[in-house]
Amino acid sequence: MSNQSTEKSNGSHHPQTLSAVDFHSATLGVAANTMKNELSRMAHTIQDMKSRRAFQNEMDNFFILFTRYLNEKSKGTKLNWDKVKEPSPEQIIPYKKIPKCDNPEYLNKLAVLKLNGGLGTTMGCIGPKSAIEVRDGMTFLDLSVRQIEYLNSKHDVNVPFILMNSFNTDEETKRIVHKYSSHKINILTFNQSRYPRINKESLLPMTRSPNADISQWYPPGHGDLFESMCNSGILDQLISEGKEYLFVSNVDNLGAVVDLNILQHMVESDTEFLMEVTDKTKADIKGGTLIDYEGTVRLLEVAQVPPEHMEEFKSIKKFRIFNTNNLWINLKAIKRINDEKEFNMEVIANSKTLESGEKVIQLETAVGAAIKHFKNAHGINVPRSRFLPVKSTSDLFLVTSDLYSLNHGELVMNPKRLFETVPLVKLGDEFKKVSNFLSRFQSIPGILELDHLTVTGDVRFGAGVTLKGTVIIVANHGSRIDIPPHSLLENKVVSGNLVLLEH
């Protein structure tokens, strides 16, 4: 508290006592001031003025996020569930209602960006997730580059390919990208911000120095895209080159290819932000969804849902679609909103316990939550084929199978598959790491007629196996099941301890 607000005590009256609310506000005020002083102190340890300004700019953005977190913490959740409505027909347009594009001229104004900040740790890999081999010896990155190369040569255009890396993936990604230097493709990279992890108890940064170990920092989610594009100079560069539109997607979504129909719709409907959504299945109940909130289209993430409304959120009846994170954004609109400091996405507070036992908070934002800031923003309900993420080896199983073939870097569903939906596949912990997954299949089974596969325990597959209908294979603890080469399993439950012999 300032000196002006402090009353001296004398014999005639007692000093004022703060109410609980004022005390809480004062505590948060102290936390904000202490954080600001600490960030400023760190900045002043940097001698080089250019480096100091860059660090200060990054910490200013972090501080804005931190104060928003403190405000939300003191006021509680801002979401009024009674105002959460299903989107109107104008807010989500079916893909089939968009006119077909017969003129690729708009490609000259397009840039493509992949969110490439993630590591492959959940799949047991070291380094960027985009470096994992997914099909025919090619990585996520290889497939993306091949798609853009083909697009450029087919339509005689120059669509730049941009990677937003994190400090975790930047060095390795640049090394990998170097092999494309002779290709007909303009590859740009920039880093998303590097923010200090916050000690949960003291609400102070873990780090005491700008050069501290990377374990004390974190990349603040893909909502950081806008500020990082501006800070890196990439945004101004694209605009100066005549680019007006940006197609953004996750690097692990193999269905996120450039779609001329959506691009044309964006230009001709004078839209600043388009979000591709697709129909929810039981596997997608936690995905963010678009809602109407006081007449504005907004992204509702699972973290924002009050516990008593969680079942309603997960139901397919009220919230029928979810966000694929395939986004089409107007570049000049990004610049306008960022210059006016109007980006105000909901803060996601991720609590983590480090190996040292220290409890920390990471403040993040989601890029799709920015939809509320753009003019004429809406969703497009696209076919499921545009959402093919590889988050686990169960997903890897699907994309490496005969369900798909490769066409100029694009995965295409096998026409022999009679249903548009993909099988539901659940592989157990023994398959969790990519190396273990690969060692358990002599070849990926044929699954054109598969509906559901569950595999748990020590199970191995010979070459040329075919799976149809519903197949459940459970090896009990201490047991092993070997599926012999060229077997056909159709609507089968296999359990126990079994080594099937060839005849």
Binding positions for substrate: 222
How far apart CA 113 and CA 135 sit, in angstroms, is 21
**Positions at the binding site for UTP:** 129, 192, 221, 252, 391
- Identify the active-site residue in 36, 200, 372, 391: 391
Binding residues: 129, 192, 221-222, 252, 391
Q: Which amino acid is at 22?
A: D
- In eight-state DSSP terms, residue 214 is G
* AA letter at 159: V
User: 291 and 83 in contact (C-beta within 8 Å)?
Assistant: no
- Per-residue DSSP letter, 384: G
Pairing of β 245-250 and β 321-330: antiparallel
Provide the pairing of β-strand 480-483 with 161-165. Answer: unpaired
Quote the CA–CA distance of 438 and 447 in Å, as a whole number: 17
Q: Are 457 and 474 within 8 A, CB to CB?
A: yes
SS3 (DSSP) at 391 = coil
352 is catalytic: no
Cβ-contact 237, 165 below 8 angstroms: no
Q: Side chain identity at 327, as an amino acid letter?
A: L
Dihedral sign computed on CA atoms, order 145, 147, 148, 154: positive
CA separation (Å) from 172 to 20, 126, 211, 222? 51, 10, 20, 19
User: What is the Cα–Cα distance from 189 to 45, expressed in whole angstroms?
Assistant: 28
Q: How far apart (Å, rounded) are the C-alpha atoms in residues 40 and 383?
A: 49
What is the phi/psi pair of residue 53, to 5°?
A: -60, -40
- CA 442 to CA 70: how far, in whole Å? 53
Q: Beta strand 133-135 with 138-139: parallel, antiparallel or unpaired?
A: antiparallel
From the list 488, 475, 483, 489, the residue with the least C-alpha distance to 501 is: 483
Which residues, including other chains, have CB under 8 Å from residue 274's CB and lie 6 or more apart?
Answer: 262, 265, 266, 327, 328, 329, 377, 378, 379, 380
Asked if residue 351 lies in contact with residue 360, where contact means CB atoms within 8 angstroms, the answer is yes
Which residues are 441's β-sheet partners? 461
- At CA 364, angle to CA 55 and CA 373, rounded to 5? 95
Place of tokens 């993430």: 301
Q: Helix 225-232 crosses helix 49-75 at what angle (to 10 degrees)?
A: 160
**CA-CA-CA-CA torsion sign (360, 220, 313, 454):** negative
Instruction: Indicate the pairing of strand 378-381 with strand 488-496.
Output: unpaired
Annotated active-site positions, please? 391
